[in-house]
């Protein structure tokens, strides 16, 4: 879940403790009746009671999650995947203007980009943004190259280069280069 | 989005109708008792549609909206003359049924939460949903797009993308509803476990299992991720439950249904094939040992499930020179495997820890183990051996996958183990009520 904190925190632990404690109390009250059940039934009843005790904690998790997800704006919701990988969803926007729909492209990412998930996620982001254009592995065999943090001429012989997204803070520039065949 | 949700409901009703046709033809219901197998029928419908859709995509079909409707209608034709010999029995009413309240409440809370959940999980936005988008937008299995360099896991089968693409034909490209679609799979699974066991198992055990599954934090986390792990787990676990019923009751319909669902699992994810093989290997071993009149049935059904679920897709991959991560060469490289022998205990221990972690799965696996112990003392050894052997073989399949991986072992294990064990955990959960028959 997108908005659930990594650690429950004091309030989360309190809710969990109260719920589980309450379920133990209920089991204690019902114990004389439960004794009539066979062994598997007693174990199941205990598991059921503990499960019911966890429900308030789960409800708290939902509240925490909804706090985050209901406050997302349209951009945050549509680009939530790339954002999780430290990638602005619009990073490759604009490359479509330079790459025809039936052309192929190759992607190259600088190793100096500091976030591994971002380096890994750039190719899928390019694939999504440039749909339905097709990517190829070898820049020399592509019609275009899309690079992040590298000049296109350093990955292929290019006849023309465009800056799709200029450098902004920690984010290196994104380029498109037309490959010369 | 509300209008899109209604159109998604319409598609799911088509899946349900398709499934009712298949379950009717297999003899699960007659007349009004159709409602007593609605969950099972829905899952069978999704599996049947998904396997058929994968085959049609491989054959070059576009599966436009009208074609989706025709496929479902053809599958639903079996409902016109259901072969049920007798109506399914009405479930007995007990006070344990009150446990349905937290189960339904949790599912309702989940629905609200998933309504606002964006598409954020890595595998979902990088390849599962893009594949569905491509099937929908490019009008079929465009070889150029599906073999491109940037596509992660191009060899994964396409049941889930086919189902999601069918959804896009009804709703447009609406990714926010994919989590809700996963929730429908899961709710149908809970209903199917109830339907297949309620008549003759201990209600306390059944409701404890259903409540734990509905509340398990790992389920909520994975449903919010809209990946393929829950669908493959749901298909495998329900197939396993049907296999158990075939062993117990000997009804051919249970075995055939296990085959349909196993085909769905194999067509959903690579490990689904390993799960299906594990399940039918155990069923074949039992049939061989018992040497009854149906000794070849599980072999035939298992082979048919594997062929239907995965062979068309493998042929397509081979024809388009797509490298297959699950190739046999991966498990036959003796030198590589010997060199990485240390991975076996590490992967096994890590996955087992994930399965029994109460923060993820509450007490699902411990209750299964306890039920096995109690059942083996009360003469249900056949079902205990079946459940344990299937679970262990499926687990071994996952260990084998980590052992033989050429990718980063530690990274793969840490990022995927919590998800891939879902199939085995749900199988254990589904098998638990079977092991606790009503006194």
More confident position, B372 or B89? B372
Confidence of residue A174 (pLDDT cuts 50, 70, 90): very high
- Structure token digits, residue B6: 């209604």
CA distance linking residue A174 with residue B349, whole number of Å:
43
- Among A1, A48, A77, the residue with its CB nearest the CB of B221 is A1
A72 contacts in B (CB within 8 Å)?
116, 118
| Contact in structure between B203 and B96 (CB atoms under 8 Å) | yes
B252 has a pLDDT exceeding 60: yes
A4 contacts in B (CB within 8 Å)?
221
Cβ distance of B209 and A38 shorter than 8 Å: no
Q: Minimal CA–CA distance to B215: which of B336, B352, B106, B82?
A: B106
CA distance linking residue B6 with residue B16, whole number of Å:
15
Mutate to test the interface with B, among A39, A46, A51 (most CBs of B within 10 A): A51
Rounded (to 5) percent helix, strand, coil in chain A = 50, 15, 35
Counted domains in chain B: 1
* Cβ burial, residue B162 (10 Å; 0-12/13-18/19+): buried
Residue B133, SS3?
A: helix
B347 has a pLDDT exceeding 80: yes
Name the helix (H) or strand (E) containing B49. Answer: helix B38-58
pTM for the model stands at 0.94
Does B436 contact A at CB distance below 8 Å? yes
A110 CA to chain B: closest CA distance, Å? 16
| Mean pLDDT along residues B127-131 | 95
- Among B122, B148, B217, the residue with its CB nearest the CB of A84 is B122
State the angle between helix axes of B364-377 and B422-434 in degrees (0 to 180), rounded to the nearest 10. 40
DSSP classification of residue B268: T
* Cβ burial, residue B300 (10 Å; 0-12/13-18/19+): middle
A20 contacts in B (CB within 8 Å)?
none
CA distance linking residue A40 with residue A33, whole number of Å:
14
CA distance linking residue B314 with residue B142, whole number of Å:
16
Cβ distance of A44 and B121 shorter than 8 Å: no
E-only strand ranges, B231-323 = none
The region of weakest confidence among A11-25, A76-90, B209-223, B252-266 is A11-25
DSSP classification of residue A172: P
- Among B126, B134, B138, the residue with its CB nearest the CB of A124 is B126
pLDDT given at position B84 = 67
pLDDT given at position B229 = 95
CA distance linking residue B123 with residue B231, whole number of Å:
14
Cβ distance of B121 and A81 shorter than 8 Å: yes
| Contact in structure between B258 and B390 (CB atoms under 8 Å) | no
pLDDT given at position B118 = 92
Cβ distance of B208 and A72 shorter than 8 Å: no
Cβ distance of A69 and B134 shorter than 8 Å: no
CA distance linking residue B307 with residue B267, whole number of Å:
10
A80 CA to chain B: closest CA distance, Å? 5
B1 has a pLDDT exceeding 80: no
B111: nearest CA partner in chain A: A62
pLDDT given at position B357 = 93
- How many residues comprise chain A? 181
Q: Minimal CA–CA distance to A62: which of B361, B112, B100?
A: B112
Confidence of residue B328 (pLDDT cuts 50, 70, 90): low
Residue A135, SS3?
A: strand
Domain-located, residue B369 = no
State the angle between helix axes of B38-58 and B252-266 in degrees (0 to 180), rounded to the nearest 10. 50
Q: Minimal CA–CA distance to A105: which of A80, A79, A128, A82?
A: A128
pLDDT given at position B92 = 72
Domain-located, residue B241 = yes
Bridging pattern class, strands A144-148 and A158-165: unpaired
Residue A181, SS3?
A: coil
- Among A40, A50, A55, the residue with its CB nearest the CB of B371 is A40
| Contact in structure between B435 and B371 (CB atoms under 8 Å) | yes
CA distance linking residue B212 with residue B357, whole number of Å:
13
Does B408 contact A at CB distance below 8 Å? no
> What are the beta bridge partners of residue A177?
A145, A161
Bridging pattern class, strands A104-109 and A144-148: parallel
| Interface predicted TM-score (ipTM) | 0.89
A131: nearest CA partner in chain B: B134
Cβ distance of A40 and B134 shorter than 8 Å: no
CA distance linking residue A106 with residue A128, whole number of Å:
14
CA distance linking residue A16 with residue B103, whole number of Å:
18
Mutate to test the interface with B, among A40, A54, A147 (most CBs of B within 10 A): A40
pLDDT given at position B352 = 97
Expressed as residue numbers, the domain containing B225 is 2-83+99-327
The residues near B335 (Cβ < 8 Å, ≥ 6 apart) are none
The region of weakest confidence among A1-15, A97-111, B158-172, B201-215 is A1-15
Cα distances (Å, whole numbers) of residue B174 to A96, B118, B120, B163: 22, 10, 14, 13
Cis, bond preceding A132 (omega within 30 deg of 0):
yes
pLDDT given at position B162 = 97
Query: How many CB atoms are closer than 10 A to CB B94?
Result: 15
Domain-located, residue B255 = yes
Burial A18-46 (b: 16+ CB within 10 A, else e): ebbeebeeebeeeeeebeebeebbbbbbb
State the angle between helix axes of B65-76 and B2-26 in degrees (0 to 180), rounded to the nearest 10. 30
CA distance linking residue B23 with residue B33, whole number of Å:
12
A51 contacts in B (CB within 8 Å)?
102, 208, 211-212, 215, 362-363
DSSP classification of residue B129: H
**Pure H helices in B27-37:** none
Domain-located, residue B387 = no
Domain-located, residue B304 = yes
B78 has a pLDDT exceeding 90: no
pLDDT given at position B89 = 65
């Amino acid at each position: 879940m997108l908005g659930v904190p990594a650690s429950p925190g004091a309030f989360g632990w309190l809710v969990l403790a109260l719920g589980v404690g309450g379920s133990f109390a209920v089991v204690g009250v019902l114990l004389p009746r439960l004794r009539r059940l066979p062994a598997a039934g007693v174990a199941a009843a205990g598991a059921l009671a503990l499960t019911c005790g966890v429900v308030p904690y789960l409800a708290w998790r939902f509240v925490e999650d909804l706090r985050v997800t209901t406050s997302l704006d349209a951009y945050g919701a549509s680009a939530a995947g790339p954002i999780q990988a430290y990638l602005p969803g619009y990073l490759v926007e604009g490359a479509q203007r330079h790459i025809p729909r039936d052309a192929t492209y190759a992607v190259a990412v600088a190793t100096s980009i500091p976030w591994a998930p971002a380096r890994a996620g750039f190719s899928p982001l390019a694939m999504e943004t440039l749909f339905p254009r097709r990517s190829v592995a070898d820049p020399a065999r592509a019609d275009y190259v899309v690079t992040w943090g590298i000049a296109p001429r350093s990955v292929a012989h290019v006849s023309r280069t465009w800056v799709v997204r200029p450098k902004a803070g920690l984010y290196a520039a994104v380029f498109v280069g037309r490959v010369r065949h | 989005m509300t209008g899109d949700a209604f159109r998604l409901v319409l598609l799911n009703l088509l899946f349900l109708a398709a499934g009712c046709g298949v379950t009717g033809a297999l003899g699960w219901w007659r007349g009004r008792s159709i409602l007593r197998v609605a969950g099972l029928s829905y899952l069978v419908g999704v599996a049947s549609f998904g396997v058929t859709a994968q085959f049609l995509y491989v054959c070059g079909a576009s599966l436009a909206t009208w074609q989706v409707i025709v496929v479902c209608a053809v599958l639903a034709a079996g409902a016109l003359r259901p072969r049920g010999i007798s109506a399914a029995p009405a479930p007995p009413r007990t006070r344990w049924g009150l446990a349905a309240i937290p189960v339904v409440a949790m599912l309702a809370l989940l629905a609200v939460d998933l309504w606002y959940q964006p598409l954020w999980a890595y595998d979902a936005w990088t390849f599962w949903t893009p594949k569905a988008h491509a099937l929908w937008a490019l009008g079929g299995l465009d070889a150029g797009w599906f073999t491109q360099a940037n596509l992660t896991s191009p060899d994964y089968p396409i049941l889930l993308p086919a189902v999601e693409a069918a959804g896009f034909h009804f709703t447009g490209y609406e990714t926010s509803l994919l989590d809700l679609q996963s929730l429908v799979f899961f709710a149908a699974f809970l209903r199917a476990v109830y339907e297949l066991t309620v008549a003759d198992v201990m209600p306390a055990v059944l409701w404890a299992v259903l409540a734990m599954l509905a509340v398990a934090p790992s389920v909520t986390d994975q449903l919010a991720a809209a990946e393929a792990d829950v669908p493959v787990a749901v298909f495998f676990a329900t197939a396993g439950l049907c296999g158990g019923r075939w062993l117990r009751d000997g009804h051919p319909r249970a075995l055939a249904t296990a085959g349909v669902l196993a085909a769905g699992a194999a067509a959903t994810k690579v490990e689904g094939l390993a799960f299906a093989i594990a399940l039918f290997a155990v069923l074949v071993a039992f049939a061989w040992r018992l040497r009854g009149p149906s000794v070849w049935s599980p072999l035939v059904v298992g082979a048919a499930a594997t062929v239907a679920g995965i062979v068309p897709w493998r042929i397509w991959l081979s024809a388009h020179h797509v490298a297959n991560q699950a190739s046999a060469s991966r498990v036959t490289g003796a030198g590589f495997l010997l060199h990485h022998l240390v991975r076996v205990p590490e992967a096994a221990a890590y996955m087992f820890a994930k399965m029994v972690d109460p923060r993820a799965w509450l007490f699902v696996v411990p209750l299964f183990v306890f039920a096995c112990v109690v059942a083996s003392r009360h003469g249900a050894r056949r079902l205990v051996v079946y459940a344990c052997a299937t679970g262990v073989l499926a687990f071994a399949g996952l260990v084998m996958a980590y052992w033989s991986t050429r990718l980063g072992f530690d990274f793969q294990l840490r990022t995927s183990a919590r998800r891939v064990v879902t199939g085995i955990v749900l199988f254990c959960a589904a098998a638990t009520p079977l092991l606790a028959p009503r006194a």
